[in-house]
């Protein structure tokens, strides 16, 4: 593990009652980074988080925090000895304690308890509410109290389990950005679990996409969107759709929407491939030669999201300017707007 690494999972398998839910997981989180475990329900992300916290044993492989192995097969360091903080989905605040007392709960014996509590309340913008009780707070305020309480003992690592799932969409977006700013201000490393990719991208430096207990890709949000390594990541992140293409050269592919530059592939000319298209890869073309059937529309204000069927029967989505109006059942002209696309070997090919 490099000098900058804080958390390392190596060949990790974990689960329940000797049944592996997560298998052969490898990832590394560096000091000061915020990571996210992202995926659909039941994919293993929460199991991984619980293993890092010490709530679940490891079946094989190991978990290392700093310079110490904290879990391996047959050994699990107790959660309270790990210097890991936890923010739960339901916040788990003490209802009979004030905001200040909730934050101070884990550091009551520390000589600087009062100062640390005041600093954290100021950081999470709750100084004026220090004497209120949890039931007197909004959901977003309760979440900030839970975050401050978890940060008070200065953990090496903070874990957040679906921390925004109980909030409405607008508050989730605002609070996710606030949480990132708070963690960065404290220099606290963290791992977040969510099934919401917008939330994952807003908070995280690195995101791990899970599928059925396997880590498909651990990377930056930018690379997950623009350089997905597997078809699952490509389709799961950013409303990805595939159309069939044929390799013309190492860096170009023929599609029904035209010839397009692609990320280099050492595949023979003529190889069948699946071409990844995002909604912003397809543009409206009033007099375009390529026509697509409008299947449905979603008006978003400045733009409209169109679900389209191409001439060959393939489905794609496209974002057109809001002033463009086409109805379901109409045809609309389209063209490729992408400067480069990602390709994958077509199912059944020998690539």
Provide the CATH number for the domain around residue 219.
3.40.50.300
CB 68 within 8 A of CB 5: no
**Quick check: is 202 in a domain?**
yes
Q: Is residue 187 classed as helix, strand or coil in its secondary structure?
A: coil
Same-domain status, 179 and 59: yes
CB 46 within 8 A of CB 161: yes
Same-domain status, 287 and 326: yes
Same-domain status, 209 and 278: no
DSSP codes, 246-304: EEEETTEEEETTEEEEBS-----TT-EEEEEE-GGGEEE-TT-SEEEEEEEEEE-SSEE
315's enclosing H/E stretch is: strand 315-321
Same-domain status, 43 and 181: yes
The reported pLDDT for the residue numbered 134 is 95
Contacts of 332 (CB under 8 A, 6+ apart): 284, 291, 292, 294, 306, 308, 320, 324, 326
Same-domain status, 162 and 21: yes
**Quick check: is 73 in a domain?**
yes
Same-domain status, 330 and 203: no
CB 296 within 8 A of CB 270: no
Same-domain status, 254 and 163: no
Show the domain range for 94.
Answer: 5-232
- CATH at residue 261: 2.40.50.140
CB 324 within 8 A of CB 304: yes
Same-domain status, 183 and 332: no
The reported pLDDT for the residue numbered 67 is 93
Structurally, how many domains does the chain consist of?
Answer: 2
Single out the residue in 232, 249, 266 at which a domain terminates.
Answer: 232
Same-domain status, 197 and 225: yes
Give how far Cα 27 sits from Cα of 30, 43, 61, 134, Å. Answer: 10, 16, 12, 37
Q: How far is CA 192 from the centre of its chain?
A: 8
**Quick check: is 351 in a domain?**
no
Same-domain status, 160 and 177: yes
The reported pLDDT for the residue numbered 175 is 87
Burial string for 292-301 (b: 16+ CB within 10 Å, else e) reads bbbeebeeee
Single out the residue in 232, 259, 288 at which a domain terminates.
Answer: 232
Kindly give the confidence (pLDDT) of every residue in the chain, 351 residues in length, as a single tens digit, with 9 standing for 90 and above.
445 899 999 999 998 877 889 999 999 999 999 999 999 989 999 999 999 999 999 999 999 999 999 999 999 999 999 999 999 888 889 999 999 999 999 999 899 999 999 999 999 999 999 999 999 999 889 999 999 999 999 999 999 999 888 788 888 888 899 999 999 999 999 999 999 999 999 999 999 999 999 999 999 999 999 999 999 999 999 888 999 999 999 999 999 998 999 999 999 999 999 999 999 999 999 887 899 999 999 998 899 999 999 998 989 999 998 888 899 999 999 999 988 999 999 988 877
Contacts of 102 (CB under 8 A, 6+ apart): 93, 94, 134, 145, 149
Give the number of residues written for the chain.
Answer: 351
Same-domain status, 251 and 173: no
Per-residue tokens: 347: 């199912």
The reported pLDDT for the residue numbered 4 is 84
CA–CA separation, 346 and 124 (whole Å): 50
Same-domain status, 263 and 205: no
pTM for the full predicted model: 0.89
The reported pLDDT for the residue numbered 3 is 52
CA–CA separation, 240 and 234 (whole Å): 6
Give how far Cα 54 sits from Cα of 7, 51, 76, Å. Answer: 14, 5, 6
**Quick check: is 187 in a domain?**
yes
Single out the residue in 176, 197, 232 at which a domain terminates.
Answer: 232
């Amino acid at each position: 593990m490099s000098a900058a690494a804080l958390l390392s999972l190596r060949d990790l398998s974990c689960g329940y009652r000797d049944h592996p839910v997560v298998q052969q997981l490898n990832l590394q989180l560096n000091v000061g980074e915020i990571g996210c475990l992202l995926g659909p329900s039941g994919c293993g992300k929460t199991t991984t988080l619980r293993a890092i916290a010490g709530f679940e044993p490891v079946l094989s492989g190991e978990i290392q925090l700093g310079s110490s192995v904290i879990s391996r097969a047959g050994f699990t360091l107790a959660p309270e000895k790990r210097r890991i903080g936890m923010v739960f989905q339901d916040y788990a605040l003490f209802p009979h304690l004030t905001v200040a007392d909730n934050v101070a709960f884990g550091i009551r014996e520390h000589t600087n308890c009062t100062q640390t509590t005041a600093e954290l309340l100021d950081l999470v913008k709750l100084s004026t509410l220090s004497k209120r009780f949890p039931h007197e707070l909004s959901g977003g305020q309760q979440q900030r109290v839970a975050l401050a309480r978890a940060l008070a003992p200065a953990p090496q690592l903070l874990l957040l389990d679906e921390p925004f799932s109980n909030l409405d969409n607008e508050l989730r977006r605002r609070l996710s950005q606030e949480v990132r700013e708070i963690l960065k201000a404290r220099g606290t490393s963290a791992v977040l679990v969510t099934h919401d990719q917008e939330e994952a991208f807003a908070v995280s430096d690195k995101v791990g996409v899970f599928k059925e207990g396997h880590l498909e890709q651990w990377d930056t949000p930018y690379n997950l969107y623009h350089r997905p390594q597997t078809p699952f990541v490509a389709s799961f992140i950013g409303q990805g759709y595939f159309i069939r293409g044929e390799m013309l050269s190492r860096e170009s592919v023929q599609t029904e929407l035209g010839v397009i530059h692609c990320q280099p592939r050492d595949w023979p000319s003529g190889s069948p491939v699946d071409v990844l298209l995002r909604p912003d890869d397809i543009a409206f073309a009033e007099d375009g030669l390529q026509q697509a059937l409008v299947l449905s529309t979603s008006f978003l204000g400045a733009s409209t999201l169109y679900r389209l069927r191409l001439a060959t029967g393939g489905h794609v989505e496209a974002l057109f300017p809001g002033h463009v109006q086409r109805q379901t059942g109409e045809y609309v002209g389209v063209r490729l707007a992408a400067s480069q696309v990602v390709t994958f070997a077509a199912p059944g090919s020998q690539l």
